[in-house]
Amino acid sequence: MGTLDWKNLPFGYIKTDFNIRCHYKDGKWGKPEVSQSEYIDIHIAATGLHYGQEAFEGLKAYMGKDGKIRVFRWDENASRLISSANGIKMAPVPAELFREAIFQAINLNKKFVPPFGSGASLYVRPLLYGSGAEVGVKPASEYTFIVFVTPVGPYFKGGVKPVNMMICRDVDRAAPLGTGIYKVGGNYAASLRALVAAKESGYGSALFLDAREKKYIDECGPANFYGIKNNTYITPKSESILGSITNKSLIQLAGSLGIKTERRQVPVEELAEFSETGACGTAAVITPIGKIVDPEKNKIYEYCKDGKPGELTMKLYNKLVGIQIGDMPDEFGWMTVVE
């Protein structure tokens, strides 16, 4: 793997050696199998292709200074995949099977775990879809669970460099009683018009508002949103956003750093009151926001005017990443060493 430029890896797909696959049939899960192929054979009438019966996860494995590989909060991803499966009527993947598959996938592809200090990590992508054939709209009776891994750099270019976001008022990513709380592919399809429009206008991502009233902040493309004011970390409460494991962890870290926390509705106008804002998620880690533009209301909210991330953002970032790479004590018991 001498050819990979670890320090400049994009957030993209790089082929690794092995992936894990497992099939659900006749009401039960089979044994995980190792594959060297990047392709799947899929029934032309699979519900995953036609009716969006598909959910995925994203988590990371990190190389520590001590040469140990650690995975961040895999049990939370396992629970969320169960919730997503139930949300769109798929067979849930038991947490134990999830654990076995992700650790095997990481172990078999150890040489792709980016070195300590590179800023990159091994992204683990579990995927579950309806593989049974149906033509009527109903849940499949067969499912496939796959785990592949790929080494990645930061999702937003430049790592902790501030990015700009565009508020998008003419696209809803998810509805309050819809599937926004699940990590299902359809939500990402629904977000693409806004993401492409934001990128074409030169922004890092789109910022979605609540679909019902267009009054409150929902989330930033594939990451949760937070704002900071008066030593308080504030993050949206909404019925249509994904429960981010990173965000949940930051709330705990903030508490341990003496920063107050609030999870509540965040009105768009409050953007003018924050001293710092950011996006957080597995891929985004913590990405500070430099500017939020609301083109339809002719408004611009600016942060990081000196081009640097804010103080509390950096405190949270350093502690989160310090724990993940095994450089700081794992005081919350979040990390699992890959044996």
Q: Is the dihedral of CA 156, 161, 166, 167 positive or negative?
A: positive
Q: Which of 150, 179, 244, 336 touches ligand PLP (CB under 6 A)?
A: 244
286 SS3 class: strand
Which residues share a beta bridge with 299?
A: 294
Measured in degrees and rounded to the nearest 5, phi and psi for residue 49 equal -85, -40
Amino acid at 275: S
Q: How far is the CB of 30 from ligand PLP (least distance, A)?
A: 27
The reply to whether 247 sits near ligand COI by the rule CB under 6 A is no
Site size with ligand PLP, rule: CB under 6 A: 12
The residue with its CB nearest to ligand PLP is 281
DSSP for residue 331: T
Q: How far is the CB of 308 from ligand PLP (least distance, A)?
A: 24
Q: State which residue, 58 or 295, has the beta carbon closest to ligand COI.
A: 58
Q: Candidates 44-52, 110-118, 227-235, 242-250 — which segment interacts with ligand PLP by CB under 6 A?
A: 242-250
Q: Candidates 20-28, 97-105, 266-274, 279-287 — which segment interacts with ligand COI by CB under 6 A?
A: 279-287
H helix count then E strand count, the chain: 6, 18
For residues 261 and 212, is the Cβ–Cβ distance under 8 A?
A: no
Amino acid at 136: G
Tell me, residue by residue from 16 to 55, as one string, x for binding to ligand COI by CB under 6 A and - for no binding. Answer: ----------------------------------------
Q: Which of 85, 101, 217, 245 touches ligand PLP (CB under 6 A)?
A: 245
Tell me how far apart the alpha carbons of residues 58 and 187 are, in angstroms, rounded to a whole number. Answer: 15
The reply to whether 174 sits near ligand PLP by the rule CB under 6 A is no
Tell me, residue by residue from 215 to 234, as one string, x for binding to ligand PLP by CB under 6 A and - for no binding. Answer: ----x--xxx----------
For residues 240 and 269, is the Cβ–Cβ distance under 8 A?
A: no
Q: Is 55 exposed, middle or buried (0-12, 13-18, 19+ CB in 10 A)?
A: buried
Amino acid at 145: F
The reply to whether 204 sits near ligand PLP by the rule CB under 6 A is no
The residue with its CB nearest to ligand COI is 58
The reply to whether 222 sits near ligand COI by the rule CB under 6 A is yes
Q: What would the DSSP string read from start to end of 149-210?
A: EEEE--SSTTSSS-EEEEEESS--S--TTTTTTS-BHHHHHHHHHHHHHHHHTT-SEEEEEP
Q: How far is the CB of 188 from ligand COI (least distance, A)?
A: 6
Site for ligand PLP, residues 16 to 75, rule: CB under 6 A:
58
Q: How far is the CB of 143 from ligand COI (least distance, A)?
A: 20
Contacts with ligand COI, residue ranges (CB under 6 A): 58, 222, 281-283
Contacts with ligand PLP, residue ranges (CB under 6 A): 58, 219, 222-224, 242, 244-247, 281-282
